[in-house]
Structure 1
Amino acid sequence: MIRLENVVSDRGSRYAVTGGAVQGRAGVDAFLREVKREKKFAKATHNSWAVILSGEGPVKNDDGESGAGAVILKMLDREGLTDCVVVVTRWYGGVHLGGDRFAHVVTCVRAFLEAWRKGSG
């Protein structure tokens, strides 16, 4: 599991990214439970995630951050990364970010992918 905290801060909102290898939907569910074992992640406003499972195809969940799962999924697809779930966590800071929130999701996923390449290269 790779976790990068405080990747982005904007107008009170904070973002983190967590990701790692999984096997099947049961593996995804277990990974999400592990992420949320830490209280601050369980209480986060959004834990948006996506994965491309080699046996089942793409799966995503916005967790209330409309469109975030699709952004993560598109980046995983471009990277050709399968069986690796990526979770972008947001703690809402009280100010709506509009479209900037998508740029922050992209920044988080890029940071994860860079760390992933270093760790598996």
Structure 2
Amino acid sequence: MSEELQDELEAINSIYGDGCLVRSNDNKNTYILTPPGESSSLRIEFPQSYPAEPPVVIGTNSTGEHGKRGDAARELSLFRQAVGTVYQPGIVCLFDAIEELTRLLEACGPGDQQRSESPCEDVGDIETSEVKEPASSELTIPEPPWIISDPFVELKSTFVARCAKVTSVEEAEAFLQHLLATDKKVRTATHNITAWRIQGPNNTSFQDCNDDGETAAGGRLLHLMQLMDIWNAMVVVTRWYGGHKLGPRRFALINQTARDAFVKAGYVIESSSSKKKGSNKA
């Protein structure tokens, strides 16, 4: 077992629970993966050179008491699709593949035979949230001091980020509601992904995020803010789907757009030495 695979096995089992990924009894290169919340276990073979070469999803291992054969076939097909989507040579991929499988299953809904034969489209890229009409109370606060990024466009999908200084969770929530209430274009976008980090009194801190249907995107935004040491700020990344699936590339675009807004707002100073400065400014 390579060091990368050993680390990945420990990480997967620590995140999803012991027994999520275990070695098969009949082959030292084959492992049994039981994705969280699913009835089917999957047999995965890791080449000796993994992660330089991708894992091979051999088939299903077993079906739970309440599982259905069609569900198992669908999960197998979707997991193969997930691995193909997230794998990059030289980089371990199981965590991203499990998250992608979860997203695909949520997007597809309850399985049927037709879906098991033809994996569902990457509709996590295109579903929109339910559009709600604004409440009158959401219109009473002043316009938030948004700093807006340049638009980033790829394959006709457009990404725009807004960031603003906030000093409380209530203020962050109010800013978001005001944006959705007053900007119909934003309100009807495919996704509005949010994250904020706030330092409170007595060394308290508040951090939160929302994927708005784009699985794991909010957490990645929050992680970006942590890496950039940004506090007392929030960011909203809006995406309008353009008709073409972007795969994992969309996460890079989401973070790139958010970073552009932070730079424009002065939360990070661009310099030749690439030094970063936090937002602990008045």
Q: Distance in 2 between matches of 1:118 and 1:19?
A: 10
Q: Paired residue for 1:88?
A: 237
Map residues 23-62 of structure 1 onto 2, 5 A cutoff: 23-36=167-180, 37-55=182-200, 56-62=205-211
Distance 1:118 1:61, change over 3 A: closer
2:107 pairs with 1:107: no
Please give the alpha-carbon distance, in whole angstroms, between the structure 2 residues aligned to 1:21 and 1:100. 28
> Secondary structure of the equivalent of 1:88?
strand
Deviation at 1:43, TM superposition (A): 0.6
Which residue of the partner structure matches residue 10 of structure 1? 154
SS at 1:51 equivalent: strand
Distance (Å, rounded) in 1 between the aligned partners of 2:267 and 2:239 = 24
Corresponding letter in the other structure for 2:148: R
Amino acid in structure 1 at the alignment position of 2:211: D
Q: In the aligned structure 1, how far is the partner of 2:178 from the partner of 2:238? A: 14
Counterparts in 2 of 1:118 and 1:69: CA distance versus 1, 3 Å:
closer
Instruction: Identify the structure with the greater strand proportion.
Output: 1
Unaligned runs of 5+ in 1: none
Deviations 1:54-108 (A, max 9, x none): 1342100000111111111111111211120011100011221100101101210
SS in 2 for 1:50: strand
- SS of the counterpart of 1:74? helix
Residue identity matched to 2:161: V
CA contact (8 A) 1:18 1:35 kept: no
User: Which of structures 1 and 2 has the larger relative contact order (alpha carbons within 8 angstroms, sep 6+)?
Assistant: 1
Q: Distance in 2 between matches of 1:91 and 1:11?
A: 11
Q: Any runs of at least 4 consecutive aligned residues in structure 1 with deviations exceeding 4 A, and if so which? A: 118-121
Aligned CA RMSD, in angstroms, stands at 2.0
Alpha-carbon deviation of 1:29? 1.2
Equivalent in 158, 164, 173 of residue 20 of structure 1: 164
User: TM-score, normalization: structure 2?
Assistant: 0.40
Contact 1:23 1:83 in 2 (8 A): yes
* Matches of 2:265 and 2:159, distance apart in 1: 18
Contact 1:53 1:59 in 2 (8 A): no
2:130 aligned residue: none
What fraction of aligned residue pairs are identical, expressed as a percent? 32
